[in-house]
Amino acid sequence: MAAIDASCADALVAPFSAGRGRTPVDVPPGACDCHVHLYDARYPAAPAATLRPPDASAADYRRLQRRTGTQRVVFVTPSTYGTDNGPLCDALAAFGAQARGVAVVDERVSDSELEALHARGVRGIRLNLSLGVVNSASQIEPLARRVAPLGWHLQLLAPAHAWSDLASVLGDLPVPVVFDHFGRLAPAMAGRHASHALILRLLEERRAWVKLSGAYIVSERGAPGYEDVAALARGFLEAAPDRVLWGSDWPHASASAGHQAMPDDAQLMALLAGWIGTRRALHRVLVDNPVALYGFDRPTTTLETP
């Protein structure tokens, strides 16, 4: 990639992201950031919400895209709003065809509400069993059945030890499962824990996907390099390269709350490129796999370099 003038690099900053300048990675056209939250104080937080970060707007996120080189985005309703998907719908309207959504619902959602969300660009639901205030493990199967006719997926966040307890449920769902944040596996659990083995098996059976998002959350070594996460990421990529996604997890609500150091999103993209190794494989994770899961149009440009 051509060198960036210093004055231009200084202008490439974004809220809730450490560092400045564009990523050194040659990011392919149509690249998708598959895990982003927006926050808007016009929408009240759910009474039991524990994460209540400051506003992070669509305009703020566009500034981040200049740093990461991505063009497409998947917005996810955060735990802050419970089942209020209003901020998500606003984000989808702002980004149009370049965005998809993952909503949060409970058993009271109507078929007409699900269909309206689909028309706005929603392609999945998320159950947050770690910090969420509206969902429980007992809802996994019934909600999966509700969204199956729409061709949606079920995205899950839970403590890593929970996956092995849910093995019988997760292996028999009518929709794909998406594990975000590396399945919340600590790097030391790789190859040693039943939950890691379960995720690998579901990936290989093409019943699941995994997001390489939140490296700063699962890493036990921390910034700047999150070196201990590399083996975990590469294990997923080797097991099922066509079932792996990448997400920035911007605006890093847990870092804003002081639980971790604020990551540099441009460097998170560089970490991904280092884990993957080749341009073709990077294109698969950033472009082809999001097209397959979220239904984006396939970019007209093609990749010629191996």
Inter-CA distances, 41 with 38, 48, 126, 150, Å: 10, 16, 22, 31
Contacts of 11 by beta carbon, 8 Å cutoff, 6+ apart = none
One digit per residue, the tens of pLDDT, for the chain of length 306 reads 344 444 454 569 999 999 999 999 999 999 999 999 999 999 999 999 999 999 999 999 999 999 999 999 999 999 999 999 999 999 999 999 999 999 999 999 999 999 999 999 999 999 999 887 899 999 999 999 999 999 999 999 999 999 999 999 999 999 999 999 999 999 999 888 999 999 999 999 999 999 999 999 999 998 888 999 999 999 999 999 999 999 999 999 988 888 889 999 999 999 999 999 999 999 999 999 999 999 999 988 665 545
Strand order in the sheet with 208-212: 32-36, 72-76, 99-103, 122-128, 153-157, 177-179, 208-212, 244-246
pTM score of the predicted model: 0.94
Give me the pLDDT at residue 5, please.
Answer: 47
Strand partners, 245: 211
Give me the pLDDT at residue 304, please.
Answer: 54
Give me the pLDDT at residue 1, please.
Answer: 39
- How many DSSP H helices and E strands does the chain contain? 14, 8
**Which H or E element spans position 154?**
strand 153-157
Where do the domains of the chain lie?
28-294
Contacts of 232 by beta carbon, 8 Å cutoff, 6+ apart = 182, 185, 187, 190, 218
Give me the pLDDT at residue 124, please.
Answer: 98
Topology given in CATH for the domain delimited by 28-294: TIM Barrel (3.20.20)
Q: Could you give the CA distance from residue 293 to residue 252 in angstroms, rounded to a whole number?
A: 24
Q: Could you give the CA distance from residue 68 to residue 243 in angstroms, rounded to a whole number?
A: 21
Peptide bond into 174 cis (omega under 30): no
Angle at 203 between CA 200 and CA 208, to 5 degrees: 125
Give me the pLDDT at residue 272, please.
Answer: 97
Give me the pLDDT at residue 7, please.
Answer: 44
Catalytic residues: 249
Backbone angles phi, psi at 4, to 5 degrees: -100, 130
Q: Could you give the CA distance from residue 177 to residue 195 in angstroms, rounded to a whole number?
A: 14
